[in-house]
Amino acid sequence: MIIQLENTIQNADILHIEQRVNSLGYQLNKVKTQFGQYLVAVGSAEFDIRKIGQLKGIRDIHRVSDAYKLVSKKWRVQDTEIDLGDGVKIGRNNLSIMAGPCAIENEAQITSTISHLNTNKIRIMRGGVFKPRTSPYAFRGAGIEGLKIFSAHCKANGIKVITEVMQADQIEEMMDYVDIFQVGTRNAQNFNLLDALGEVDKVVMLKRGFSGSIDELLQAAEYVYSNGNEKIILCERGIRTFEKAYRNTLDLNAVPILKEKSHLPVVVDPSHGVGLRNYIEPMALAAVMAGADGVIVEVHQCPEKAASDGQQTLDYKEAEQLYDRLRQTYSLKKSFNGF
């Protein structure tokens, strides 16, 4: 059960509601976010919710039986739209394309990518500076100094930055240089990191764990939301299966299911989801047809020379064709939905 409180509610009224709900055998959690105040009640007793709903200071009350509550669509029917400023919005009626290299390598690569993005009206650049690598000997990223240069060029060009944060103690130093914190697949259930990202007023994109269920992704999002941050994007990036013909199995089933279960925007990462350049475009277009609000793709001036993930990275020409076709596909999908 979710109890939405009036923003002006008095403490005494909160206490009164808490006592009433506790007396029904429900356990209560107080949540205060950028946008509202909620009491999330967990319990199973049947009762007439109108009796609670009429108490002073309550804006609305909703029964949500899922394990995740605040990220559920059962109480917020309208999809979430995230506003990054400067006209960049994610979710609801927007197609978001995020593009850039797997890893930030040097300044020339940053400026080259930005001019490619500008030409193609792409407003969000990806690029890791802290890279989780399977081998400790692989390139592990340009670090905070690389991020500062990445951010300065993006700010000067009205482009938003998405980059991975690997641990909670990096959040503060990264804060001023990031528009979207990406949580990588390997950190999908790092609950300390999720708690910490709930405490900042910054957009968070949660990648699905490579062995994580849809429900676990939603519960990870619930960690962030219930700690105070409503600005969350869900990302399907492929899961590990027995199939060896490609890097991961991009689970596009998850897209319409996530869209039905949650009000949060859903972005698909076909680059890691397939892991092979030739299949990125068809899977990206399929993601849009499945209902994704956006796509995040790896793009590099010269993929053969990329410091990481070159085999799944598009060159500029391939990327341009993809952006075009993504936009066409999105229009087609919208026409099916009749809006």
Contact residues for ligand PEP, defined by CB under 6 A: 102, 128, 132, 184-185, 207, 237, 269, 272
Q: Is 56 helix (H, G, I), strand (E, B) or coil?
A: coil
164 lies in the site for Mn ion, by CB under 5 A: no
CB of 319 to ligand PEP, least distance (A): 16
DSSP structural state of residue 27: E
Closest residue by Cα to residue 324 from 284, 292, 290, 293: 284
Closer CB to ligand PEP, 69 or 207, in the complex: 207
| Angle, helix 214-226 to helix 254-261, in steps of 10 degrees | 40
CB of 299 to ligand PEP, least distance (A): 12
185 binds, options Mn ion, ligand PEP, none, Cβ within 5 to 8 A by partner type: ligand PEP
- Token code pair at residue 319: 């990327």
- Token code pair at residue 120: 């193609």
CB of 172 to Mn ion, least distance (A): 25
CB of 309 to Mn ion, least distance (A): 4
* Cβ-based neighbour number of residue 60 at 10 Å: 12
236 binds, options ligand PEP, Mn ion, none, Cβ within 5 to 8 A by partner type: none
Closer CB to ligand PEP, 96 or 185, in the complex: 185
Spatial CB neighbours of 229, under 8 Å, sequence gap ≥ 6: 33, 34, 197, 198, 199, 200, 201, 202, 204
The Cα 149–Cα 24 span in angstroms is 55
The Cα 272–Cα 250 span in angstroms is 8
CB of 85 to ligand PEP, least distance (A): 23
CB of 62 to ligand PEP, least distance (A): 33
Give just the sign of the alpha carbon dihedral 298, 304, 309, 312.
Answer: positive
The Cα 180–Cα 85 span in angstroms is 12
237 binds, options Mn ion, ligand PEP, none, Cβ within 5 to 8 A by partner type: ligand PEP
Closer CB to ligand PEP, 64 or 103, in the complex: 103
Closer CB to ligand PEP, 269 or 293, in the complex: 269
Q: Which stretch binds Mn ion (CB under 5 A): 28-36, 101-109, 191-199, 232-240?
A: 101-109
309 lies in the site for Mn ion, by CB under 5 A: yes
CB of 317 to Mn ion, least distance (A): 20
273 binds, options ligand PEP, Mn ion, none, Cβ within 5 to 8 A by partner type: none
Closer CB to Mn ion, 293 or 309, in the complex: 309
Please report, as a single letter, which amino acid is at residue 109: Q
102 lies in the site for Mn ion, by CB under 5 A: yes
What one-character-per-residue DSSP string does 266-307 give? Answer: EEE-HHHHH-SGGGHHHHHHHHHHTT-SEEEEEB-SSGGG-S
250 lies in the site for Mn ion, by CB under 5 A: no
- Which residues lie near Mn ion (CB under 5 A)? 102, 309
